[in-house]
Amino acid sequence: MRQLAGDILFVNLTNRTWWREPTPKDRLLAFLGGRGLNARLLWDYLKPGYNPLEPDNIVIFGPGLLSGTAAPSSGRTTVTCLSPATGLYLKTSGGGQWGAELKFAGFGYIVILGRADGPVYLWIDDGKIEIRDASKLWGLDVRATDLAIKQELGDADIQISAIGPAGEKLVRFAAVMFSVYHAAGRGGAGAVMGSKNLKAIAVRGSGSVAAAKPARFHETVLLARKSLLSDSAAPGLARYGTSGSLNGVNELRVFPAYNFQRSCVDDVYPLTGQYLAEKGYLKRRVACFGCVIGCHRFSTVERGTFAGSYAGGPEYETMSALGGGCGVIDTAAVIKANELCNIYGLDTISTGSVIQWAMECYEKGDLGRKELDGMELRWGDGPAVSQMVRKIAFREGIGDLLAEGVKRAAERVGGETYKWAVQSKGLEQSRVDTRSAKSYALAFAVNPRGADHLHTETFAEFGLSPEARALITKIAGDEKYANPYTTEKRAEIVRWHEDCYAVTDALGFCAFSTTALYGITPRFMADLFSAATGYHIYEEEIMQAGRRVVTLEKCFNTRMGAHRKDDTLAWRLMNEPSPDRPDTVAVNSKAELDRLLDEYYALHGWDPQTSWPKRSTLDRLGLADIAAELEGAGRIGKE
């Protein structure tokens, strides 16, 4: 078990000490690993009143429990901290090879405490730990940092997670980058690393990760792999990546364009994965550790204004945020902006969101050429988008305002600009128009990290594959609920996906294998957990553990002061109907959201007045100590 879970490495940057502790078995069985155990460590070490960008914040890295094994698509790592964007709970995750390497070095978690008195990076070479000087790395972009560390340590196979200039400059949506092109992007974990003067974590491991019951584990891995590859949507995801779904999403009128002023674009083809492949931008497919799908890709631009650019993806979210959202229907321009986000260490979703908010401010006269450093920031201007990305990363001119995120930027500019700041809890909304996707609307409103899909991905509600429709039938009792426009059964659909996603993250699986493709079912996850740990667990029990994690995250935000009123959506989506659904008034109204929230809190056993979990609910989930602390603080739900 110890070999599978890895130890917890604590690093105090303030006094440059470190120590290791075994991962407690009871915690592992309760919270599964990865995101789950990270959440429990955050609860234990971070108290109310702490500040996201001060030394008292902590940042935790936790690969999934099965990362480093042969379980398919299980190589993801969760990064957990207090978010500089929201001041609330943040978990964000990234792919690549880094998490598996950390497990090979014998560690399952790294807890970073304090702040170094100058730039440093952490070097983990199996059991040997060094906190090294990073003065020469400070200011370098992610690509250059990756190269410089590998040269300094003399090993090209070292795995590196790093921040770019955006993290150093405390941009509130700075990403932690793994292996250069894989981002733990959302919520600003990169800025937390920057605030600690921690430039990078380099890892080399020579061990392996063993299952308690190897034969049973191997047999289940083969079945799970077969199941994943037989999903009808698997070949399309492998061939065209996540942006292969743009056509369908655009047709459903849930593809946000022009800063959510529209719900589709007239010609989406140049932003699709199909176009990337057919026009020769796509150079190769890329897979995270142990992945049998390989949806991540690598693209280059060989001609024109952006010749010489190269980047991972671009993914669906990036094509939308830096493309359609800004009115840029130009493949090469998006690849360029994507590349800059990757090497400067920025979340592409939030970056695109603040740029399109500024474009609308320019259009409406709230920001003029003077405030925009002499620029004319018009819809569709690809080179201007790239210029803005750089300004944000380095906090130059207008970039200093935009680096604060749309919520704070709108508060500073004032007037009516908050109406088109599309965010909730302070996080810019990811790229689904929730006016016409009601499970997403509820999931985004209640998401503890803000309006975003990578906590509860309810893609199945679109019913775009037989497997998606079968899942909705299993959850809601009828295939007719595979309809994003209906508000019926949304609470049930959201709660199931919350549980499943928490298990997915805890074990290290990629959500594409569980909630976009559906081959890795909860049953497979329970069987793999059982064979890997030697502790038998049923499907219902592993989903219950997922709910324990979701509830703990809710408790964390409750302790930080969050309330029902925080579970909401952006002003625009609650007040301006989509112009691209002339068949109906497509909007997220207060009355509709209130009804969905009531149903959702009731399903969870949370108090509908406050949204706070009840004592009986927490006791039932084995969270009695959490309940006692909330009760002591007067923040427990009424029975």
What character string, x for contact with ligand SF4 (CB under 6 A) and - otherwise, covers 531-550? Answer: --------------------
Rank residues 237 and 574 by Cβ distance to ligand SF4 and give the closer one.
237
**Count residues contacting ligand SF4 (CB under 6 A)?**
11
| Minimum distance, C-beta of residue 225 to ligand SF4, in the bound complex (Å) | 12
Fill in the amino acid letter for 590.
Answer: K
Cβ(306)–Cβ(335) under 8 Å?
A: yes
* N residues, the chain: 639
Contact flags string 177-216 toward ligand SF4, x per CB under 6 A: ----------------------------------------
Q: Which is nearer to ligand SF4, 73 or 551 (CB)?
A: 73
Token pair listed for 263: 């719900």
Closest residue to ligand SF4, judged by C-beta, is: 510
Nearer to ligand SF4, 512 or 612 (CB): 512
Residue numbers 350-369 binding ligand SF4 by CB under 6 A = none
Residue 287 beta carbon to ligand SF4: minimum distance, rounded to whole angstroms: 5
Q: How far is the CB of 178 from ligand SF4 (least distance, A)?
A: 11
Task: Give me the least distance between CB of 65 and ligand SF4, in Å please.
Answer: 16
> Which C-beta is closer to ligand SF4: that of 42 or that of 233?
233
- Name which of 76 and 408 has its Cβ closer to ligand SF4: 76
Q: CB atoms < 10 A from the CB of 540, how many? A: 11
Say how many C-beta atoms besides its own lie within 10 A of residue 147's C-beta: 14
- Ramachandran sector of residue 448 (left: φ over 0; alpha: ψ -120 to 50; beta: rest): alpha
DSSP assignment letter at 429: P
Min dist CB 637 to ligand SF4, Å, is 36
Q: Which is nearer to ligand SF4, 264 or 287 (CB)?
A: 287
CB count within 10 Å of CB 247 equals: 18
Tell me whether residue 148 or residue 293 sits nearer to ligand SF4 (CB atom): 293
Q: Please confirm whether the linkage preceding 314 is cis (ω < 30° from 0).
A: yes
In this chain, which of 296, 495, 497, 614 binds ligand SF4, going by CB under 6 A?
296
Residues 79-118 that bind ligand SF4 (CB under 6 A): 95
In the bound state with ligand SF4, the residue whose beta carbon lies nearer, of 293 and 441, is 293
Cβ-based nearer residue to ligand SF4, 293 or 322? 293
CB neighbourhood size of 633 (10 A): 12
In the complex, the smallest distance separating the C-beta of residue 315 from ligand SF4, rounded to whole angstroms, is 9
**Mask of contacts with ligand SF4, 29-68, x by CB under 6 A?**
----------------------------------------
Q: Is 73 in the site for ligand SF4 (CB under 6 A)?
A: yes
Give the span between the Cα atoms of 409 and 399, in whole angstroms: 10
Nearest to 570 by CA among 435, 458, 437: 435
Q: What is the DSSP letter of 579?
A: T
Amino acid letter for position 236 = G
Which of 387, 514 has the CB closer to ligand SF4? Answer: 514
Residue among 139 and 294 whose Cβ is closer to ligand SF4: 294
Q: Find, among 484, 472, 567, 485, the residue nearest to 515 by Cα.
A: 472
Name residue 116's amino acid. A
- Beta carbon nearer to ligand SF4, 465 or 551: 465
User: Whole-number minimum distance, CB 293 to ligand SF4, in Å?
Assistant: 4
Tell me the C-alpha distance between 437 and 493, whole Å.
Answer: 12
- Subset of 276-295 contacting ligand SF4 (CB under 6 A): 287-288, 291, 293-295
* Nearest distance in Å: CB 511, ligand SF4: 7
Sort 47 into a burial class: Cβ within 10 Å, 0-12 / 13-18 / 19+: exposed
User: Does 435 interact with ligand SF4 (rule: CB under 6 A)?
Assistant: no
Q: What whole-number distance in Å separates Cα of residue 454 and Cα of residue 443?
A: 10
Name the helix (H) or strand (E) containing 81.
Answer: strand 77-82
- Alpha-carbon span 329 to 199, nearest angstrom: 35
Find the shortest distance in angstroms from Cβ 338 to ligand SF4.
15
Residue type, 287: A
Q: Are residues 296 and 281 in contact, defined by beta-carbon separation less than 8 angstroms? A: no
Q: What are phi and psi of 546, to 5 degrees?
A: -60, -45
Smallest separation (angstroms) from ligand SF4 to the CB of 285: 8
Residue pair 354/402 in contact by the 8 Å Cβ criterion: yes
CA atoms of 12 and 15, how far apart (whole Å): 6
**Measured from the CB of residue 116, what is the shortest distance to ligand SF4 in angstroms?**
32
User: Please, which of residues 505-524 interact with ligand SF4 by CB under 6 A?
Assistant: 510, 512
Considering only CA atoms, give the Rg of the chain: 23
Residue 291's closest CA among 237, 246, 210?
237
Q: Does 234 bind ligand SF4 (CB under 6 A)?
A: no
| Contact of 220 with 66, CB cutoff 8 Å | no
Sign of CA dihedral 125, 129, 131, 133: negative
Q: Is 476 exposed, middle or buried (0-12, 13-18, 19+ CB in 10 A)?
A: buried
Least distance from ligand SF4 to the Cβ atom of residue 576, Å: 33
**At closest approach, how far in Å is the CB of 183 from ligand SF4?**
11
Q: Do residues 59 and 146 make contact, with C-beta atoms less than 8 angstroms apart?
A: no
Residue closer to ligand SF4, measured from CB, 94 or 448: 94
Nearer to ligand SF4, 179 or 588 (CB): 179
Question: Of 97 and 533, which has the nearer Cβ to ligand SF4?
Answer: 97
SS3 109: strand
Question: Shortest distance, CB of residue 288 to ligand SF4, whole angstroms?
Answer: 3
> In angstroms, what is the minimal distance from the CB of 505 to ligand SF4?
12
The contact set with ligand SF4 (CB under 6 A) reads 73, 95, 287-288, 291, 293-296, 510, 512
